[in-house]
Structure 1
Amino acid sequence: MSDVPAQPRISVNDVVRLLVELFAFFTFAFWGFVAWPFPWNLALGIATPLFVIVVWALFLSPKAVIHIDAFGRALVEIVLLGSAALAWLMLGQPVVALVFGVVAVVSGVIAGRKNLR
């Protein structure tokens, strides 16, 4: 009978969502460095993923600074992850964009259904 709180259960989808988010951060850095000529590539390769990380921390992180409802969170997530998929299209990688988009949508739908229960 200890007063130790129960550990949260981490599902497979939680791991997939983490990997999707990390891949999106990588995508924005890669897009910034590859899609733009020097000196813009340095600025966008660093600033774009930092901006996305700040937006994620403000609205989507488990300890978000700005609390919004589930639909607002979904909208922010769709914009961020959709932009990452579009970045792959802009880089001429439609297969990567499609696979990333499908994995992000399926994972987001599963998480959204879980959160709305």
Structure 2
Amino acid sequence: MPQDPASVPGVERPKIAPLDIIRSIVLVVAVGSLALWGFFTWPFPWNIVLGIGTPVVVILIWALFISPRAVLRLHPFLRAAVELLIYVGVTIAWWLMDQPFIGIAFAVVAVGAGVVSGRRRIA
């Protein structure tokens, strides 16, 4: 009978908190929102470029600076500023799509999750 991976010596399972799940959902919604903004706001040649390019840029920025295994380690305040810039961009994208209430709701959830996560990380 196979052993439970949590009981195997030398194997550490990552602890995933509900806040981590919320932050992952916020990132997926951000990337999807920017794809929608790119595809539906711009005329033909630019909608392909921005619909694909903007989410790719956000994913690269997230991987470089914000992810749990970030390539470049930043001071926590700079990391929060980069994360906030992404959230501001998504909120502005929703406003440009004439959906200000969705943008405000996204901003409240994203910034709230980021603040709680940042406080937990610093403490």
**Do these two structures clear the TM 0.5 threshold for a shared fold by scoring above it?**
yes
Extract unaligned runs of 5+ from structure 1. none
How many corresponding residue pairs?
A: 117
Q: Taking structure 1 as the reference length, what is the TM-score of the superposition?
A: 0.95
Q: Equivalents in 1 of 2:88, 2:73: separation in Å? A: 22
Q: 2:18 aligns with which of 6, 12, 16?
A: 12
Work out which structure has the larger RCO, using CA pairs closer than 8 Å and 6 or more positions apart in sequence: 1
State the distance in 2 between where 1:50 and 1:2 align: 38
Structure 1 residue 58 displacement after superposition: 0.6
Matched, 1:59 2:65: yes
* Larger-Rg structure: 2
In the alignment, what sits opposite 1:114? 120
> CA RMSD of the aligned region, Å?
1.2
**2:105 aligned to 95, 99, 107, which one?**
99
The percent of aligned pairs where both chains have the same amino acid is 42
Poorly superposed stretches of 4+, deviation over 4 Å: none
Q: Alignment partner for residue 56 of structure 2, among 50, 53, 73?
A: 50
Distance 1:2 1:40 in 2: 52
- Any unmatched runs of 5+ in structure 2? 1-6
